[in-house]
Amino acid sequence: MSVVTDRNVPIVDEFRANAGKVGGSFAGKTLLLLHTVGAKTGQERINPVAYVRDGDRLVIIASKGGAPTNPAWYYNILAHPLVTVEVGTEEFQARAAVASEPERTRLYDKMVEMMPRFDEYRHKTKRLIPVIVLTPVR
């Protein structure tokens, strides 16, 4: 059974009802559903996450809105890097890897171009926000 936090249920439902399109702060932006396996629980977790494309790879940012800690899904991918991704109506497996410099900054800046709010996040926190590359497993 998949676990979706209460605050994400409406986003996940809207995403699936509208072939990956959602309104609100994500209107017009690219959003995916990231399925991870809980690092501690072993349960499947689903989180909506903004992404940008980099060739055939998808790039997500563990920003947590600039909070001082990483989101739980980040630790899940460290423990279990094989994830499932929903993009639009497509669902596939991908291997998650944390980007290192200088690729990390290039990819983060690419996200900022699409969603300028991500620039605020990196200035709001003292931690180096991780950038994760999702490479489809075909």
CATH 2.30.110.10 applies to domain 2-136 = yes
Whether the model pTM is above 0.95? no
Q: From the centroid of its chain, how far is CA 59?
A: 7
Per-residue pLDDT of 35-94, as tens digits, reads 999 999 999 999 999 999 999 999 999 999 999 999 999 999 999 999 999 999 999 999
* Segment 99-122 mean pLDDT: 95
Is pLDDT at 31 greater than 80 in this prediction? Answer: yes
3-state secondary structure of 119: helix
What band does 1 get if pLDDT is binned at 50, 70 and 90? low
* DSSP assignments along 19-65, one per residue: TT---GGGTTS-EEEEEEE-TTT--EEEEEEE-EEETTEEEEE--GG
**What is the domain partition of the chain in residue ranges?**
2-136
- For 25, the token pair is 């702060």
What band does 26 get if pLDDT is binned at 50, 70 and 90? confident
User: What burial class does residue 40 get, using C-beta atoms within 10 Å of its C-beta: 0-12 exposed, 13-18 middle, 19+ buried?
Assistant: exposed
Q: Residue 66: its pLDDT value, please?
A: 92
Query: Across the chain, what does the average pLDDT equal?
Result: 93
Peptide bond into 68 cis (omega under 30): no
